Structure 1
Amino acid sequence: MMNFKQKSAVILVFLGLTVQLSLAQKIPAKKQVLKTLQLTNAYFMNKWPDAGKSIVTNKERPSNIWTRAVYYEGLMSLYAIKPERSYYDYAVQWGDKHQWGLRAGVTTRDADNQACGQTYIDLYQIDQKPERIRDIKASIDLMMNSGKISDWTWIDALQMGMPVFAKLGVLYKDDAYFEYMYKMYKHTKNVEGGGLYNAKDGLWWRDKDFVPPYREPNGEDCYWSRGNGWVVAALVKVLEIMPENAPHREEYLKTYQEMLKALVPIQRADGFWNVSLHDASHFAGPETSGTALFVYGMAWGLNKGILEEKIYRPVVVKAWNAMQQQAVHKNGFLGYLQGTGKEPKDGQPVSYTSMPDFEDYGLGCFLLAGTEVYKMKR
């Protein structure tokens, strides 16, 4: 039987844990969220003052590739809530340095090469200089004229390509962009590899190589965190961009809701998600990019009033606080960020201090998440 002192100690521990849990569930003030976003962004802008400088890892690549395009998506979201002239100028410099062109030219069908078009179109809408939209429109129009719809063979491509079609559809008031986007999406979802979306689990296999009989070490299906995050982001952007009466909107919304429902029970106790969503023992540990994309999707849904507050708000707040407190370094560097790849084993080991092969896309995901958390009601 415990004496008074022992009982008191237990009560104090319990109260301490309760306070910690309460603090973990409290959403930071808007000012604090913005401060974190500006810190992480400043780290990157200071490190890469020349927006046109090539990126050298295992080889040299131009800076208009998909990794940098995702960063600029995040930067434009930050610019929307904090319209600093330096953010706009940095994005314009990126477009200018590449002459508003696409890697591999207008004939490219690779969504990774077209992802830069998202920011090009955003900047065109701010200042309608024809060169800003010339090449991305030409590339998408060539794809549509070809009639081929099987290019998006991996789920990351949905985030890289779908928003471009949606933005052009709105800009030109032409449903043909929406319809072609849907045909390509449906091929990825229902045909590619037998269909990359598993409606039963509400999650996606990254590409045909991961469709069963492929299994994770624990025997479960392989659902890669960031891959599913890309799909969440694609659906959020399309739903945000398209008019309420746009074709196929309800199907996108349904899949978005199914995915988020599936993500809630597999969130880690610390607030992150594992790189392997159904095998917590396979390269387990915090990971920032997938977590940020899930936060982006959930916070957006809360802000739009289409997700249930009591279910999703605690999940979002816990995940955001985890990233802000555990992943962000004092100088703005982001830790726990998996490098490029397509499955849990790639870019490992992932740690607080590990440096990914590209720093840009992870920051883009984080900025997308943070801007939606910033908009959440207090």
Structure 2
Amino acid sequence: MPQENGAQKRATATAEPVREYQRLRSPEVMKVVERVADYQITAMAAGLNPIKTGEGYPNPKGWVQAALFIGLTELADRSANLRYKQLILQRGEANQWKLAARKYFADDQAIGQSYLWASRNGAGEVAASEVKAEFDAILSKPSTVALEFTGHREGTGFEALGCQSRWCWSDALFMAPPAWFELSRQTGDPKYAEFAKKEFWAATEYLFDNSENLYFRDSRFFERRDAAGRKVFWSRGVGWAFAGLARMIDRLPEGDADRARMIVLFQRMAGKLKAIQKSDGYWAPSLLANGPNTPAESSGTGFYTYGLAWGISRGFLDRGTYEASARKGWAALLRAVHPDGKLGYVQPVSDRPDEVSYDDTQLYGVGAFLLAGTAIAEL
């Protein structure tokens, strides 16, 4: 069989096969979700590095792997295959249930979400103990630095991290707050949730653009414009925040005033995201630069598909208004899956819109895909 060239692959990924927007049965969805998960698990076991630059394999406690394991928790909740639960438990044991080194850095807290899941699914209190200890240490000496974006120096304390000792970039809203809310839910102590609410609203007041209903990635982008004069909203950066909101709302009790505010914010974002989705089902790497010739990108699209499907299932989004958008996103994601289960079109590690190809993959993109697929399966 002749091999597709790059242009043919891109055409396949960005075509608009209307039939794929029709409802798929849950088992059909879960079958492809497990195929993508299984490819990534096997690739990890083999040491197949998604980074082609010669750098080391992603840190087993760091955010790149954490995003994958967060997706795996949703798959483990729904799959009859126990390997996903076993993998999460074994990773936690191998990590000794410790977070990564920089306790104040949201990215280094993300793996704690899988530990807290494990504590409710067979690992017991030991799985949550290190998360609690680290969060207690933060509460004893919280960072109060300004949210203007700065780089960080060598070191693990908030003095070295600068603004990144708080949630001054949109990615942080996925990485950290759900763990804080979940810890309050598990311990019954509201102090973790109260801290997360305060920091979340501070970040939102600073980063959220009320005219566009989207989050800037960080303060460096407030005045940045592309060649056509458009604001720059990075797809994955906004996706982190949108998916993070869903995971926060799920961990707050009904009747909580902040939960109600978060739902309104989520709905505002959903309306904007529906309006700017491309006709091929993807969202563009730079969200407002969404012309027909912009590249496919699967990590941001995964987070939006997840959020829209989740919102419909929870009753926060109207099915008649949003279901087609969610299913278009899922159809686009299916076209990014290679025959062997590898997920393509994942923009490499970055903090802004960039080039992406059919062969680009990353663990966090698979995490977004697992979130999307498990949510679509419940529609």
TM-score band by shorter chain is 0.7 to 0.9
Task: Work out whether residues 278 and 292 of structure 2, in 8 Å CA contact, stay in contact via their aligned partners in 1.
Answer: no
Is it true that 1:219 corresponds to 2:229 in the alignment? yes
**Paired letter, 2:187:** Y
Asked whether the 8 Å contact 2:171–2:217 carries over to 1, the reply is yes
Amino acid in structure 1 at the alignment position of 2:326: V
Cα distance between partner residues in 1 of 2:375 and 2:144: 32
Which residue in the other structure is 1:332 paired with? 341
Question: 1:318 Cα shift?
Answer: 1.1
8 Å CA contact 1:292–1:366 kept in 2: the answer is yes
Alignment of 1:136-215 (within 5 A): 136-150=131-145, 151-190=166-205, 195-212=206-223, 214-215=224-225
- Structure 1 residues 238 and 273: CA distance shift in structure 2, 3 A: same
Deviations 1:278-324 (A, max 9, x none): 11369921110000100110000110112111110010111111211
Deviation string 1:196-241 (CA, Å, 9 cap, x unpaired) is 10011100110011012x1122111111111111011111001111
C-alpha separation in 2, matches of 1:355 and 1:22? 26
Rg (Cα) greater in structure: 1
* Offset at residue 55 of structure 1 (A): 8.4
For 2:209 and 2:43, locate their aligned partners in 1 and report how far apart those are by CA, in whole Å: 41
Q: Are the equivalent residues in 2 in contact too, given 1:217–1:279 (CA < 8 A)?
A: no
Whether contact under 8 Å (1:224, 1:275) holds in the other structure is yes
Gaps of 5+ in 2: 1-15, 146-165
Distance 1:183 1:49, change over 3 A: same
Question: Does 2:288 match 1:273?
Answer: no
The range that moved more, 166-175 or 148-157, is: 148-157
CA drift at 1:93: 1.5
Return the alpha-carbon distance in structure 2 between the equivalents of residues 41 and 74 of structure 1: 9
| Corresponding residue of 2:75 | 78
- Which TM-score applies when normalising by structure 2? 0.86
120, 124, 127: which one aligns with 2:119: 124
Alignment of 1:175-324 (within 5 A): 175-190=190-205, 195-212=206-223, 214-280=224-290, 284-324=294-334
Native 8 Å contact 1:216 1:282 kept in 2: no
Q: Which residue of 2 aligns with 1:342?
A: 351
Structure 2 SS opposite 1:89: helix
Partner SS state of residue 327, structure 1:
coil
Q: Distance in 1 between matches of 2:233 and 2:249?
A: 23
Distance 1:42 1:128, change over 3 A: closer
Could you tell me which of 13, 31, 38 is aligned with 1:42? Answer: 38
Give 1:148 deviation, angstroms. Answer: 2.5
Aligned pair partner of 2:110 in 109, 112, 115: 115
8 A contact 1:272–1:287 mirrored in 2: yes
Residue 42 to residue 21, structure 1, CA distance change in 2 (3 Å): closer
What residue is the counterpart of 2:365 in the other structure?
A: 362
Distance 1:306 1:179, change over 3 A: same
Q: Could you tell me how far apart the structure 2 residues matched to 1:207 and 1:146 are?
A: 24
Q: Structure 1 residues 34-43 or 24-33, which shifts more? A: 24-33
**3-state DSSP of counterpart to 1:49:** helix
Give the whole-Å Cα distance in 2 for the aligned partners of 1:36 and 1:128.
28
Task: Work out the CA distance in 2 between the residues paired with 1:225 and 1:211.
Answer: 15
Match of 1:351 in 2: 357
Distance 2:98 2:347 in 1: 28
Q: How does 1:79-118 map to 2 (within 5 A)?
A: 79-104=76-101, 108-118=103-113
Cross-structure match for 1:6? none
Residue of structure 2 equivalent to 1:29: 25
User: d(CA) in 1 for partners of 2:121 and 2:46?
Assistant: 22
Query: 2: CA distance between counterparts of 1:278 and 1:55?
Result: 28
Instruction: Give how far 1:30 is off.
Output: 1.2
- Aligned residue for 2:120, secondary structure, equals helix
Distance 1:341 1:55, change over 3 A: closer
Deviation of the 1:56 alpha carbon: 8.8
Q: Secondary structure of 1:126's partner?
A: coil
Deviations 1:232-256 (A, max 9, x none): 1111001111111234111111111
230-239 vs 145-154, which moves further: 145-154
Deviation per residue, 1:87-129 (Å, 9 max, x gap): 111111211111111111xx61001111000000000111253
Between the aligned partners of 2:129 and 2:293, the Cα distance in structure 1 is 43
